[in-house]
Amino acid sequence: MTADRMDPVIRTPYGAVRGRWERDAAVFRGIPYAAPPFGPRRFRPPVPPEPWDGVRDAGAFGPTAPKPPYSEAFAQYLSDPEIPGDDCLNLNVWTPDPSPDARLPVLVWLHGGALTRGSSAVPVYDGGTFARDGVVFVSLNYRLGVEGYGLFPDAPANPGLRDQLAALRWVHDAIAAFGGDPGRVTLGGQSAGAISAGALVAAPQAQGLVRRAVLQSGPPEGTDRDKVRRMVRRMAARLKTPATAEAFAAVDRELLLRVQADIGRRSSPVLGGPAFGVVVDGDLVPRDPLDALTGGAAPGVGLLTGWTRDEYRLWLVPGGLLERVDRLGTVALAGAMARCHCGSEVPRGYRTLHPGAGPAETVGQMVTDHLLRAPLHRLADGRDEPSYVYEFAWPSRRPGMGACHALELGFVFDSGDEPDARKLAGDGAPQDLSDAMHGAWVRFVTDGSPGWERWDDRHPVRVFGDGAPRTVHGPRDRELALWSAPEAPADAQPPELRSVIRRLRRTGALRRD
């Protein structure tokens, strides 16, 4: 509090909260949007928080959802604060003008972390830079891992996604008091946050809550239900308990996290394996989100989508997996073919287009295109509403990381000076690139156009790399065209390939999806 400015106090639907002034923004942290999801509410849809009397202090981040820590290999690149406590369904608001008359655009941020890690307290996600530029910024925590995305016969699916919907409804009802316009809400996310944002935009229950959406490095697709069931069944086998929500609710929380981390350690976008994800549930997610969005869902919602040039490097470089994939050579390419359900013509095409690429780069780009770029292309192609597409191509100063997954976040948030941003970017990240990336997001949130031409048959992609941003038409079209060939049936694959795939699965290097 300064001598001439008192701490801001705002009344929410459940009670008043007191924030803080920080760099000309009013900041409110740890506001509950739903009740603690434990006890009888564990594995159940969120319910409203208990109203409170008086003024609740909102000066510090609230508890984070239960999650295992990153492995040592990943922790050197990614930060993931842990704040204990049960009241983990909370959100934060940064606003430049906490008055109902301001009617400012709003950005609601969903963090990434494979739906198993991450939180709104990650320092890179400081919403002050958006507030500085006239945007009310909201970030939130939601249930993760088996608590948020386990699939059980005795509990509704997707409780973590239902948490996010509850937060969106809170924003719709409460954000005007913080200076935001509930009719100008952009929902944005990266990686798992982007997958979630796409599912919510497509959800009939979220209609009218979102005007625009940003999907960074995450396609709006549902996860195969059996993939999630296998994750739960393997945890149940390790715990020696039935694969039901009732049984899992009786397990010690820390033990549940340790078993989840151990079972999931071999899962990755490259290796496949069991994992948690948003599933079609016939209710909140009545159909695959990508099919819904290309079939007319969410009319009037504009999209900004993007990826990084070398997404795969965050999946392969930590722990030395990149070198192991290079050593495997043909075996790794065979594994990628099985992972992507394609025939040998696809890796052959990639090697023709990029003759100097080694096996790891070929495998990484194949998996990235199959899982991420191809569905985002399909999304932009299949909608009448304006879509804008970009690629982040600036290489990290950290050895071997390139323009990897999550590197762009420090530039989107203009938080490159944060030590946590430098963990991934290294020292010397260019400020002009932050200005360009952050400015594009602010323009899109504010008026619906990030500053370059909308997607059309020429496939314009804005490239943010070294030097000034530039628009390139169809930079990934040749690679993505390789996927249009009919899928090779398993019995049509050569015997030596089938043998390699069986060997990879026996050793655990490749899991059935």
| Residues belonging to the active site | 191, 311, 405
Closest among 273, 473, 493, 433 to 367, alpha carbons compared:
273
**Secondary structure (3-state) at 462:** strand
The dihedral of CA 383, 444, 166, 268: what is its sign? positive
- The alpha carbons of the chain give a radius of gyration, in whole angstroms, of 22
Written as six digits, the tokens of 44 are: 């159940």
DSSP for residue 376? H
Could you give the CA distance from residue 292 to residue 441 in angstroms, rounded to a whole number? 25
Which amino acid would we find at residue 118?
G
Give the other-Cβ count within 10 Å of 271's Cβ. 19
Closest among 385, 359, 231 to 296, alpha carbons compared:
385
Could you give the CA distance from residue 25 to residue 488 in angstroms, rounded to a whole number? 56
DSSP for residue 509? S
Per the CB < 8 A criterion, the answer to whether 396 and 402 are in contact is yes
Helices (H) and strands (E) in the chain, counts: 20, 14
Placement of tokens 């944060």 in the chain: 418
Per the CB < 8 A criterion, the answer to whether 189 and 279 are in contact is no
DSSP for residue 398? S
DSSP per-residue codes, 208-229: TS-SEEEEES----PPPHHHHH
DSSP for residue 373? I
Q: Which helix (H) or strand (E) segment is 294 a member of?
A: helix 289-294
Could you give the CA distance from residue 400 to residue 200 in angstroms, rounded to a whole number? 35
Q: Which helix (H) or strand (E) segment is 26 a member of?
A: strand 25-32
**Secondary structure (3-state) at 499:** helix
Q: How far is CA 224 from CA 55, 230, 271, 434, in A?
A: 45, 10, 16, 37
**Secondary structure (3-state) at 206:** helix
Total number of residues shown for the chain: 513
Scanning 145-186, the segments in alpha helix (DSSP H) are 145-149, 159-174
